[in-house]
Structure 1
């Protein structure tokens, strides 16, 4: 899916009709000419915002159409996330694997969305997690370092919910689709760091490529005749260790259980949003031209 066009097709930006401009009359009471009206009433063109991307946007848009077409006949069913938690000397390691029915570039953009992503609880009508501040500290090609503050909704024994601030430094690589993060300040946590990456899954490999095992999107496109969909595998390795006495049972059990429960809600938010993408009608070329975002593809860049 075209990352930026995907959001455009999900949200119908043309749902509101523009207000009609009132006709103006000259001081002597005569109507102005049609050309004058057109000139005065024509809305000023907005300057498009340029966004640099590190992938083939046309190929992602082609994938968007494949997913949308397949969704009508054979809807994609999101498999539940796989979560495994281990504890070594008080340090918890949570390994997560999530399969998502859309392209890796779209999934990575959702995860690195400046507004904080699609993490909203519609049942309780509140944000599960959102960005409250964000600052780019360093940027070089596809790599950038960002300092971000997030607000996380945290349930306490199902009795009440409090908002916990999380300060993180994140190192993103928008070409490799990887991110490393570490805590600046997280309440109750002595250790809080981790990483995630998004990799392609060749969804129709067995059906269209037979016994061939494609090793790249290019090989997959060739063996599938251009009809193979590309999904995503999101892998997260998250490490956390509470301060004393919260690292001692039963408090540690509560924190561990709540962390897993909250993580599942966030992962479900990603899958729900991408389901909306698949159902949404892809943008036309006219819609693309009218978009306020002008993407610039970069395939050769300075390595750091």
Structure 2
């Protein structure tokens, strides 16, 4: 028998404040049409004053635990992906642990920017397969509105805040690609591309959090090729191909990247979960948000083969294949 990390529950949370594209027209040389045609984004959510990344993460975690029929102390570990922590340290995961009333186990953060949730899933899977944990709460949570340069129309209109969470539980599998749970993963990074997407501040450089900077066109050219390649590598590891995928649940950065990757893989957009129009780019939160929405709407069903893939600053990119 083979141990598989199976999805037992899923949930998400979005801040109450909804920001339509039109809100930017008063302060920037932009329009709703300009934003929609270039990104597919129509609106996004921004955290309220005093509402932190850990606050969003806790609400998503509670939703996922409820969906799984579990309590906080049923969880052995929290793996949380974020690039916008409440504090430099301690980790957001330990803050979530305390706020959930979880009195056992351990938690830690993963930082791979927009690819963070793929990295977090891979780490959580390793904990379960190795026997270190039986149940792991995997969370992606971001408050990117806190690191925006509101004078830069190329970036500040793209990002939003939110959180999504999965509960993974170890279960016996047959050891083949028909098993439920995480079947394979592929992770990559290349620091030579760091200037394509970064924040221009930090503890050891400026002593400030800095603002997000992005070379959008250059990043777009890298994205489709790298996302397609990592997806196919992950599928090949378990002797599956593009046509075996029921759902692509991609990082929700830009509708053109999403469409380009689906086209290159020969898959219809009918097989893609798209939430970018409602949430914007929520970085590490975007995949679990989309998974939660897809499951809640009854599209993602038990037994479906789900491909998640993402690329972000670093550059870091990767894919996880799982059977729901």
Which one has a bigger Cα radius of gyration? 1
- Name the TM-score class by shorter chain: under 0.3
The normalised TM-score by structure 2 is 0.22
The normalised TM-score by structure 1 is 0.23
More helix by share: 2
More strand by share: 1
